[in-house]
Amino acid sequence: PHIFGTAKVKDAREVLLNWEQIKYQEKKQERSSALDGIPRHLPALLKAHRMQDKAARLGFDWEHVDQVFAKLDEELREFGAAYARKDKRRIREELGDILFALVNLARYLQVDPEDALKGTIRKFHDRFRTIERVLRKSKKGFRDTSPAEKIRLWNQAKRAKARKRTGT
């Protein structure tokens, strides 16, 4: 449409936005929402990312990353209030909102949230195993270890991995 039509665009992003608008108009008769085309069976993290990406390509997006951070802060405050009231239904809802906002932040920063989470899972696994080895050597378990000692061991495992990564 930007080639043969009258639409004027500045960059590739505008081409995509224009294309999404045209496709949305074409499919309007088939679907009640632009989000209806996203498969229902997707894992929640991927589905959230796809929904937010689709909405952004249609022009429903934040203008600045500061706004995304502000939304995340808002959701964290709402979660804190629900937690203080011990309102289990609201806690669950607000936790979902936090996760959704984090996925949106990842999308905005062009970070694949699935890859980011997988990386963190690997780090946790490595550090946990390191702590297990240390405790096994001292013939102790997690239940025999104070919270302060667990934190110390965690930070030690974290520093050891960082040194290994940087070669220092």
Domain coordinates in residue numbering, the chain = 1-60, 62-111, 112-168
Percentage of residues of the chain with pLDDT beyond 70: 85
The predicted-structure confidence for 61-83, as pLDDT tens digits, reads as follows: 999 999 999 999 999 999 999 99
In 55-86, which positions are buried (b, 16+ CB within 10 angstroms) versus exposed (e)?
Answer: bbbeeebeeeeeebeebbeebeeebeebeeee
User: How confident is the model at residue 161, as a pLDDT?
Assistant: 83
What is the CA 116 to chain-centroid distance, rounded?
8
Asked whether the beta carbons of 51 and 35 are under 8 A apart, the reply is yes
Cα 6 to Cα 18, 63, 133, 147, distances in angstroms: 12, 26, 67, 66
**DSSP 8-state assignment for residue 79:** H
Burial environment of residue 11 by CB neighbours within 10 A (0 to 12, 13 to 18, 19 or more): exposed
Predicted TM-score (pTM) of the model is 0.76
The predicted-structure confidence for 25-49, as pLDDT tens digits, reads as follows: 666 666 789 899 899 999 999 999 9
Cα 132 to Cα 79, 118, 151, distances in angstroms: 33, 21, 13
Kindly give the parts of the chain with pLDDT less than 70.
1-7, 9, 16, 19-30, 168
